[in-house]
Chain A
Amino acid sequence: MSIDFCWRPLDALPPGQPGRVMAIGGGRGLALRLRSLGIRPGAVVRTVAQGPWRGPVLLEVDGCRVALGRGIARRIFVQPLP
């Protein structure tokens, strides 16, 4: 299976696939909040589960699990890692 290495929003990262955070959209407050949970440009994240019906994304970052609403996950851009 070939992996597409283009940036994509976090909610488009298939579960189990690791990705590197490249950019975070939105304001300073959101950026600070996400950074305090380890979600910052350069961090490696992995989707553990996705809630159905446009539900949130369960992420693993820095050995810790974080739930992000879909609206926030869409503003985080990741590059899939092999």
Chain B
Amino acid sequence: MPGRPRPRHRPPDLRPALAVNVRRIALVGQPNSGKSTLFNALVGWRAVASNFPGTTVEVLRGRANLAGRPAEVVDLPGIYSLAAQDPAERVARDFLLGEQVDLIVNVVDASLLSRSLSLTLELAELGIPMVVCLNMADEAEHKGIRIEREKLAELLGVPAVATVAARGVGLPELLAALPEAKVPRPPRYSADLERALAAVEALLPQISGLGGLPPRHAAARLFSSEPLPEGTPAAVREEVARIREDLARCRGEDPALVLVDERHALAARLFREVARVEHARVGWRERLDDLLMHPLLAYPILALVLFLLFWLTFRVGSALEGLLSPALEGLSSAAARALGEGLLAQALAGALDGIWAGLAIALPYLLPFYLLLALLEDVGYLPRIGFLLDGLMHRLGLHGKSVIPFLLGYGCSVPAVLATRILEEERDRYVTAALAVLVPCAARTVVVFGLVGRFLGPAPALALYLGNILVIALAGRLLRRFLPGLGPGLILEIPPYRVPGVCTTLGKVWLRLREFLKVAWPILIGSSAVLALVEALGWEGGLNQAARFLTWPLGLPPESGIPLAFGVLRKELALIMLIQAFRTSDLGSVLTAGQMLVFTVFTMFYMPCLATLAALRRELGWRRALLVLLGTTGLALLLGLLARAVAVLV
């Protein structure tokens, strides 16, 4: 950020008296309006915030201390309107309407104010106290949009605060405004629409199953598209249908669209009253698309960006590994000698092996990779890749929006599977999730670079990535045969380019690394200890023999059986256990080039790790998760055999 002083993050500190007893504050707004950034600023680093719509697909909760009283702050997925259309939006709407929310902070991208006010007016119908947070005030200024905050606050009947959440600007003011929150003034539509809505509202007591929805909102929902709940009396059903038909006849338009268009017209009028648009500055950020989206240059640039992502990861990673590995290995073998021979001592030595392996083998590749991925996300290039690859994705029976889960898959498969919630169609979500788990995640990158990259060179490692893309493309074409039908196509908001904030980007890298340190590292250490114990007891021969059905056809040495089994817990373990099983980190001396290739290819594709399986089960159900498991393992076996054949021939 250009040299302005960044206010230090202060823990929320409120004026002593809160007007209402606020227990739960929900951040609600359109996608990419900066809710997660604001959430992080309020409760500390919890949420991944990026520059693409639909980063948040779950409800995230955090605690803040409001005037000495604990309150829960909730970060919801972005919604364009309360008429939810994809699962991420449904999550947000159901939370907002189903849980007790005491206060809404409507986070608005001030640079898109006219569009965003439609949602603000829709929220105003819920009857929940609200504060409007005009976020990204700096971008609005850049676009030449001047907003009269007091006037907006007066017209809506709620406080309005300008913020730049990414830099912490305006947060004290926002916190100070929370106790002033008021129930907003609901919008007034044209007389005929008001009459129709009131008529539906009058019928509400006779309709059960609306679960205490605010009456105005419930009427609007019945009016739009939602079918009436089961068990509604036929007379009421007919009455609602008649009201809708009457309006449709008068307006010559679907009542749902009439309502949305009126709300938009009110929002547009509100915008004209509170904002002036002076001439916008056109800078590099607006012109960059002329180059990066250029019909001819865009694709070479994309290829270069992706190449640099992996090449830099490999370069930095192998340099760090070379620096750390010998020292830590020496330390751990010295410790093992000092510990002696007993069973417990050997288990402890194994645990030490796990500790150094996590630090010296996994972390060196994870750190640069997460950093580069975070930069790509925050600049705003990710959705543009979706635009560029839409045509290609159509050949896989998908469209460009699926690119976002795929690219997140290079980081970790779990968020990739969750990110399929931004897709509207169930079938698209299934196909995308099934293919996204084939994308080599950071853990598999550790195996690819730590084995093939280190011992066979960077070119074969990069070739594996290209081959992986080819396999995913072929698998996609195959899936298209079994699961035909394509959703309506790509509709994706492309956010402006942004200079990544140091705090946001590093915070995100830290969140992802913390995930590794908190979840994966202990598994690594525990598994190393277990393996050491198994070896001390002399059981490894039997276990490896049991895995021979897999390692024999692939031409792998028997010792690789246990590592592949452990790889199901975490994919890095496959490599780390291999080092432990052979008691050397110089795997080049115990494995042939062909064996390394086969091992890596198999690890790249075989069954997703347990955490990913859990995510698949949650998003797709047992049956489909099981199908993905069988499919990927079958594919891995097939490709492993193919790699063996290639290695023999070359």
Contacts and interface: CB of A to CB of B under 8 A. Distances in A.
Interface of A: 26, 28-38, 40, 48-56, 58, 62-72
Interface residues of B, number: 43
Contact of B496 (A28, A35, A65): A65
A68 B424 CA distance: 14
B391 A30 contact: no
A29 to B, nearest CB: 7
Interface stretch (B80-88, B156-164, B315-323): B80-88
A70 B293 CA distance: 16
B400 interface: yes
A56 B387 contact: yes
Nearest to A48: B289
A64 B492 CA distance: 11
A33 B290 CA distance: 27
A16 to B, nearest CB: 10
A34 B491 contact: yes
B387 A58 contact: yes
Contact of B388 (A30, A37, A51): A51
B491 A66 contact: yes
B106 to A, nearest CB: 15
Contacts of B641: none
A34 B115 CA distance: 12
B488 A62 contact: no
B257 A66 contact: no
Nearest to A29: B85
Contacts, number: 114
19 contacts: A32-B83, A32-B260, A33-B85, A33-B491, A49-B289, A50-B295, A51-B391, A52-B296, A54-B391, A56-B400, A63-B280, A64-B115, A65-B493, A66-B491, A67-B386, A67-B492, A69-B390, A69-B394, A71-B488
Contact of B295 (A51, A70, A72): A51
State the majority secondary structure of interface residues on A.
mixed
Interface string B482-498: 00000011111111100
Q: Max chain A CB contacts within 10 Å: which of B85, B118, B391, B495?
A: B391
B260 A48 contact: no
Most-contacted residue by chain B among A30, A62, A65 (CB, 10 A): A65
Contacts of B264: 35, 40
Contacts of B290: 49
Contacts of A32: 81, 83, 85, 225, 256-257, 260
A43 to B, nearest CB: 10
B295 A62 contact: no
B256 A63 contact: no
Given A28-B254, A51-B388, A51-B391, A72 B491 contact: yes
Nearest to A61: B115
Nearest to B111: A63
A67 B390 CA distance: 10
A8 to B, nearest CB: 19
A30 B289 contact: no
A28 B225 CA distance: 9
Interface string B96-136: 00000000000000011011001000000000000000000
B143 interface: yes
A68 B386 CA distance: 11
Contact of A64 (B112, B260, B399, B400): B112
B294 interface: yes
